[in-house]
Structure 1
Amino acid sequence: MQIKDYPLITALSDDDLLLVQTANDSAYKCITKANLFSGYSSTGGSTPTTPPTATDYPTGMKLWLEGGSLLDKSGNANHATPVGSSSPTVITSTSGKPALKWNGSGTQELQVTPFLQGTNGATLYCVFTASDGNYNLARTSGLDDYWRFVSGPGYFGTFRGGRIDNYPAVMPNSGSHLISVHAETGYYEVMLDNVSQGTQVGTFTPGDRFRIGTNDKAFGGDISLLLVYPNFIGKTFKDHLDCISAIKSKYPTLTIS
């Protein structure tokens, strides 16, 4: 049968997601209908000219926010909601993609019901446009932590019981970037644009909250992508390399090593 012969597929919208099992390794990948059809003839008879990669993030994430939406695309219903009456707006940002925009007022914090209880590690990927001053894009515990302090360094506490002062040494105050946080008991690493900012020791803490763009560190930038996995993914792991490849494909204007 040809693709056009499957009405359950052809009736979908282009941006609807399908779960596809690959033949070579029986792995499952998420892909949009548009990318599935990319390179096929109108009758669905030819082979794709380019393998679809833009949405091929490794599966298993607990949170997937993208496209300027507060709705979780991971299938776990970990949707984001405003803490107060104000929510980020939607703009066109990195690589021409929709993003959630904070205006610097300190009134647009988002919350997600905690979803990492019982885990032994976590990994976060975030494509964002930085702003000057303080900001904290992902808080998981009741800490006075910063992704960036006004003078430049970070005081990271995401997935930790205590913040690390002056780590990383310098965080950006402009431009679009990728941050990833890799945490498990005894190991902690922040990577900026896929470059390690050094490793730290410490006890992994899943936390009692998940807050995005916290009000006490008034963020003035935007977030295009936020992925959270309920396990440790090291920088040499295949899942990390695959995730970086997918992010590069979807956000080609990022400068990523």
Structure 2
Amino acid sequence: MQIKDYPLITALSNDDLLLVQTASDDAFKSLKVSDLKSYIGVSSSSGSGSGSVTSYPSGMALLLDGGSLIDKSGNSRNASPIGDNSPLPATGIDGKKVLRWNGSGNQELQVTDFLDGTTGATLYCVYSVTGTGNYNLVRTYALDDYWHFIDGNGYIGTFQNVRHEAYPPSMPNSGNHLISIHASSTSYEVVLDTISKGSQSSSYASGDRFRIGTNDKSFSGDIALLLVYPQYVQPNSTSDLGVRNSIKSAYPSLSI
């Protein structure tokens, strides 16, 4: 039967089946629409074709969400695994697709460095922790830095050329959280959920890399959202609250 003999389909549901031909052996196999969406990083929820149901304030440099390595900021800064292994798409917070790290210490991702020449940056990350050990979710410089160390504190170095000692204090080893990092030429502040960890006097450094879920810290948990703006966004400013409101609408169970 020729393709023209099939009726034209203008809408598909997530449970519909597609007939696909594999390149390796020319065999035909069935594939659910929902599985195809997950594979290419498009949300199965209603929303825009980009896969991001939530609309975040404009000007972002990087947007990873929906359990996908595809950058949805429009800048084509897709993530890729450092080695042979990658975090896998899974269902996580509020039933949303996430990227899941299993604690094996071999699932680190990289994005080509994109902050060179900037004078500040702000990062928002929705993540879930299932292990009680060390983790470092974003590294931008060759530092031995931690978002969480076994003593419960962070020794963070994201957007810095030296790590902070015992800062941020009291970082989580369980649960779902939003962390935001606000770095400028004169100050550095981490906000966890709604609590500021205090402002530090330090100078922003754009770094020479952008690594996610670094192998040396063996993260066990999920990253649901990673959103970066290439400028300083002041905590509790109108711009910051706009981002937070968008995140809250996407992940309503967050305590923010």
TM-score (norm 2): 0.80
The aligned counterpart of 2:215 is: 215
Q: Secondary structure at the match of 1:197?
A: strand
Q: Any residues of structure 2 matched to 1:161-180 within 5 Å, and which?
A: 161-180=161-180
Q: 1:189-212 CA distances to partner (integer Å, 9 max, x unpaired)?
A: 000003100000111000000000
Indicate yes or no: 2:102 matched with 1:103: yes
Q: Secondary structure at the match of 2:141?
A: coil
The aligned counterpart of 1:74 is: 73
4+ aligned runs moved over 3 Å, structure 1: 10-14, 33-36
Q: CA separation in 1, counterparts of 2:254 and 2:224? A: 12
Q: 1:97-126 CA distances to partner (integer Å, 9 max, x unpaired)?
A: 000000001000000000001100000000
Write the letter of the residue equivalent to 1:88: P
1:59 CA displacement: 0.7
Instruction: Decide whether the 8 Å contact of 1:143 with 1:163 is kept in 2.
Output: yes
The aligned counterpart of 2:146 is: 146
Write the letter of the residue equivalent to 1:239: S
Q: CA separation in 1, counterparts of 2:177 and 2:253? A: 10
Q: Any residues of structure 2 matched to 1:222-237 within 5 Å, and which?
A: 222-237=222-237
Q: Secondary structure at the match of 1:240?
A: helix
Superposition RMSD on alpha carbons, in Å? Answer: 2.2
Change (3 A) 1:96 1:121: same
The aligned counterpart of 2:249 is: 249
Q: Secondary structure at the match of 2:102?
A: coil
Q: CA separation in 1, counterparts of 2:46 and 2:173? A: 35
Q: CA separation in 2, counterparts of 1:232 and 1:70? A: 25
TM-score (norm 1): 0.79
Change (3 A) 1:106 1:54: same
Q: 1:157-181 CA distances to partner (integer Å, 9 max, x unpaired)?
A: 0000100011111110000000000
Q: CA separation in 1, counterparts of 2:237 and 2:255? A: 21
Alignment: residue pair count: 215
The aligned counterpart of 2:56 is: 57
Change (3 A) 1:135 1:13: same
Instruction: Decide whether the 8 Å contact of 2:186 with 2:203 is kept in 1.
Output: yes
Q: Any residues of structure 2 matched to 1:123-202 within 5 Å, and which?
A: 123-130=122-129, 131-202=131-202
Q: CA separation in 1, counterparts of 2:91 and 2:11? A: 28
Q: CA separation in 2, counterparts of 1:57 and 1:229? A: 11
Change (3 A) 1:12 1:163: farther
Q: Secondary structure at the match of 2:248?
A: helix
Unaligned runs of 5+ residues in structure 1 are 1-9, 15-32, 37-52
Q: CA separation in 2, counterparts of 1:254 and 1:140? A: 26
Q: Secondary structure at the match of 2:226?
A: strand
Q: 1:6-49 CA distances to partner (integer Å, 9 max, x unpaired)?
A: xxxx98999xxxxxxxxxxxxxxxxxx9458xxxxxxxxxxxxx
